[in-house]
Amino acid sequence: MQNTSKTWPLNAIVYQIYPRSFQDSNNDGVGDLQGIISRLQYLADLGINTVWLSPIYPSPMVDFGYDVADYCDIDPVYGTLDDFKELLAECHKHDIKLLMDLIPNHTSTQHKWFLESKKSKKNAFRDYYIWKNAHPGSGGVPNNWLSCFGGSGWEFDAETGQYYLHSFAKEQADLNWRNPAVVKEMLNVLRFWLDLGIDGFRVDVPEWMIKDDKFRDEPENPDYKPGPQSDPYQQLIHKYTHAQKEYLEIVKQFIEVLEEYEHKFMVTEVWSPSEQMIKVYNEIERDFFAPFNFFIITHPWEARIHRQVIDHYDSRVTHVYTPTYVLGSHDKSRTATRIGHAQLRVAALLLFTLRGIPFIYYGEEIGMEDTLIPPEKVHDPFEKNIPGMGLGRDPERTPMQWDNKIFAGFSEHEPWLPVNDNYRQVNVEKLTGDDESLHALYKELIAMRQNSEALLTGKYSSWDTGVDDIFAYTRHAGSEVILVILNYSNKPHKITLPFRKGKLLLDSHGIIEKGTDMLLYNLVVPANNGYLVNI
């Protein structure tokens, strides 16, 4: 058995905390750092060894912390820098590593750099941001670039008579990464947190950092169809604002800063097609670096499709690299809502048995659902700018459901977003007391993964089952071979595999006893069920 596979980050089980919604300690209705500290034992008991905190920097909260006003401090709503140091020390006491969210593409327009930058065209900070004159022909916006949150990506500043670029909300001004001073500032931000002892970063939208230096108009997307469910950002092909190859040079500089320290990890957000993602791996070439893999979220929940996508990914992200799998995120509908409750156990088996670091979004381990947000309670700028199209991200950001008390034990004060009505049935207290709960399954799978060379780093191979609805694969290291059989449908299926028999390690529904000899020829897999079998 190799030692390296059991060391972090290869054995990471990452839990994403959305701090506003995890635990409120001072009853102002918003989660905070002391609240997180009070729940670390819960995470340690679940088997979590890595926490990623969504942003906690001082922020006007236009985009809930993704509009940073100071990269080297903590927003008072969450606590102080001392609270943060306490949180970090407590994480490490619980053998939990801590990843911070790094938001390099843009700052809040309240950041001191931007406040300086907009003072005059001659200000020393002017080139920290992307300022352009009006289009010489039309006299309007400099070009057709769009904001991901709707409308033009350009905002006019009357005082200096120029436009600044914002790829997201207009209160989030894009930094000019072609300016070496910006690079230097941000590398020092990384060092500030690494010096405090954090274990790495999750990097927000790095693919947007570099834009075409000629500011060319983007071509229209011929496949775009306007309609109630269409995201207007998709009307252009983002040839000149997204995934420009120079952005990887900046990520490389982040990596070099991490290498000034020991045992750090960096994961970058990437929404590009798979070939681009492989290119990112090939360019960066470090085992402590990985782009997120959102394929499970972005592809339909179908066994046949998952097999194709995962086969391809696994074959390209070779053992030199560190693969990842994300089941839920603060930007996408919750898994229970996306695929339905009946499939949550199958999803858990999938997440913890693939060759890649699993990322768990808070509350997924108890099967939290999207929450219906009445229009007057909407906070997300995406929903506010483009209402009624189902683009808003508030539904998956509601308070963690801890118990059946008022506001689900998250706070004694009315929370910033409403608690889901199902909290009396779906809560941590109830599910941790139930050996048959989804939470118990998560805990068991995490423990199993951490103790299995095959599940952690073993070779992945998928197998024909003769049934489109069933995804079967093995994980294999040395003499340990674990067969995973997942029924994605609500019907039982009889399958044929090229294996004769094995011993049951786990039945997703606990019907068949562990250790039972399983005949794998003409095996009937019940609806919505999964098996792990030692063969």
Catalytic (active-site) positions:
204, 269
77 or 186, CB closer to Ca ion? 77
- Please state, in angstroms and rounded to a whole number, the distance separating the CA atoms of residues 183 and 187: 6
26 or 253, CB closer to Ca ion? 26
Tell me: does residue 38 bind Ca ion (CB under 5 A): no
- Residue 9: asked if its preceding bond is cis (omega within 30°), the reply is yes
32 or 269, CB closer to Ca ion? 32
3-state secondary structure labels for all residues of 428-496: HHHHHCCCCCHHHHHHHHHHHHHCCHHHHHCEEEEECCCCCCEEEEEEEECCEEEEEEEECCCCCEEEC
* Coarse DSSP helix, strand, coil percentages of the chain, rounded to the nearest 5 percent: 30, 20, 50
30 or 277, CB closer to Ca ion? 30
Site string for Ca ion, 4-33 (x = CB under 5 A): --------------------x-x-x-x-x-
Please, what is the minimum distance in Å from the beta carbon of residue 35 to Ca ion?
A: 6
* Contact residues for 324 (Cβ-Cβ < 8 A; gap 6+): 267, 290, 291, 292, 293, 356, 357, 358, 359
Tell me: does residue 75 bind Ca ion (CB under 5 A): no
Tell me: does residue 87 bind Ca ion (CB under 5 A): no
3-state secondary structure labels for all residues of 114-143: HHHHCCCCCCCCHHHECEECCCCCCCCCCC
29 or 291, CB closer to Ca ion? 29
Please, what is the minimum distance in Å from the beta carbon of residue 29 to Ca ion?
A: 7
- Please state, in angstroms and rounded to a whole number, the distance separating the CA atoms of residues 348 and 446: 10
C-alpha angle 253-254-258 in degrees, rounded to nearest 5: 115
Tell me: does residue 383 bind Ca ion (CB under 5 A): no
E strands within 96-206?
97-102, 106-108, 131-132, 154-157, 162-165, 172-174, 200-203
β-bridge partners, 268: 203, 291
The count of residues interacting with Ca ion (CB under 5 A) is 5
Find the residue with minimal CB distance to Ca ion.
32
25 or 276, CB closer to Ca ion? 25
β-bridge partners, 520: none
Q: Which residues from 211-230 bind Ca ion, rule CB under 5 A?
A: none
Please, what is the minimum distance in Å from the beta carbon of residue 416 to Ca ion?
A: 9
Give the H/E segment covering residue 518: strand 517-519
Tell me: does residue 412 bind Ca ion (CB under 5 A): no
32 or 174, CB closer to Ca ion? 32
Please, what is the minimum distance in Å from the beta carbon of residue 486 to Ca ion?
A: 40
Please, what is the minimum distance in Å from the beta carbon of residue 57 to Ca ion?
A: 16
Please, what is the minimum distance in Å from the beta carbon of residue 22 to Ca ion?
A: 10
Please, what is the minimum distance in Å from the beta carbon of residue 411 to Ca ion?
A: 7
Answer yes or no: are the C-beta atoms of 168 and 106 closer than 8 Å.
Answer: yes
Tell me: does residue 207 bind Ca ion (CB under 5 A): no
The residue ranges that bind Ca ion (CB under 5 A) are: 24, 26, 28, 30, 32
